[in-house]
Each structure stands twice: as C-alpha cells, then as structure tokens.
Copies of this chain bind each other. A is one copy, B any other.
Amino acid sequence: MSTADRLIDATRELLWERGYTGTSPKAIQQRAGAGQGSMYHHFAGKQDLALAAIRRTTARMREVAQADLAGPGSAVERIERYLLREREVLRGCPAGRLTQDPDIVASAELRAPVDELFDWLRARLTAVVAEGQAAGELSASLDPRAAGAVIAAAVQGGYVLARAAGTAEPFEQAVRGAVGLVRAAAVRGAATTN
C-alpha cells in the first residue's frame, strides 16, 4: 500500500471519527506513519487530502448500497435488506457525519461527493419503490420520491438518535419502524397472488 493510500485511509478514518475541523494534518501523518514533508509531497494540503478521502468513502458506500438494492428479491425485500443491513451504529455514518461540518458544507468541492452520494441513494430508493408499485407489490398511493427520501432519512436519523443515546437501540427502532410502515403500504398477498 502506497504512502498516498495510507494517507487517504488515515484521513478517511479521522474524518469519520472527528470530522474535518477536528482532524489535523499532524494527526493524519501519525496515523498513516508518514512525515510532514511526505504528506505535502503527495497532496496540496489538508483540503486536497480530505477531498481524496471523501471521494473514496462515498464511492465505497455507494457500492455497498447498490449491492443491497440491486440484488435479488422483490422491491420490499430489497428495501428491507438496505434498512436492516448491519452497521456500526455508534460510529455514525461516514458520509452523513460530514454534513454537519461547516467547512465541508461551505466548500462546493468538498460537499459535491456527499451530495452526489445521497442524491443517488434517494433516486435509487425511489426507483425501487416505483418498481414495487409497478409490480403491484406496493400501494399505488405512495409518492415514490417521498418514500425514498424517508427511507434514507430513517437511517441517517437513526444514527443521530443512537449517538445521542449512547446505544444502538434508537437506530434499531427507527429502521424497524421504517420496515413496519413499508410493510403496511404493501399490497396484501401481492407477492403470491398478483
């Protein structure tokens, strides 16, 4: 693994744990086992390195979500697989966390990858809901865009509630609630009778 890669991964971890403001070049160098000069040789500065780290993190998250949503199963099954996937709840969301950082939100460049990830996620969830409706599996009265957004929000909000509580329980309740509401919107017996 190259020095640049170790620097990027150290930055990813620190951004996740401490955010952009709370992450210093010195801390990155120590975690990566790289010197001052080495870091500034490979990257223009803290922001440049953060950008590389954010891009890598959002790319990975997209792959994972896509595996849940594009895999086998009905629309409801795929949504439940996304909602119920195991997560390191108390560590928070590596991408959602960044949205609370004023320096990231203030920078069009740093915010862009996060924006694109969540925009893609909502669109993807919206599409799966629409597929479920087309298959007669989900009630046609749902607004697919609103349903997609609330599913993504349930996960992100679940992280917030769990970190406030210091336990994963509120997260589990929130995703269970989302699953329950989706099932309530399911057309009864659709999977077998339609």
Residues of A within 8 A of B (CB): 17-19, 21-22, 92-93, 95-103, 105, 111, 114-115, 117-119, 122, 139, 141-143, 145-158, 160-161, 163-166, 170, 173-178, 180-182, 184-185
Contact = CB atoms under 8 A, between A and B. Distances in A.
A170 B122 contact: yes
Main secondary structure of the interface of A (DSSP, over half): helix
6 contacts: A19-B19, A100-B100, A119-B164, A149-B170, A156-B157, A181-B182
6 interchain residue pairs of minimum CB distance: A153-B157, A150-B177, A157-B157, A156-B157, A149-B173, A146-B177
A145 B164 contact: no
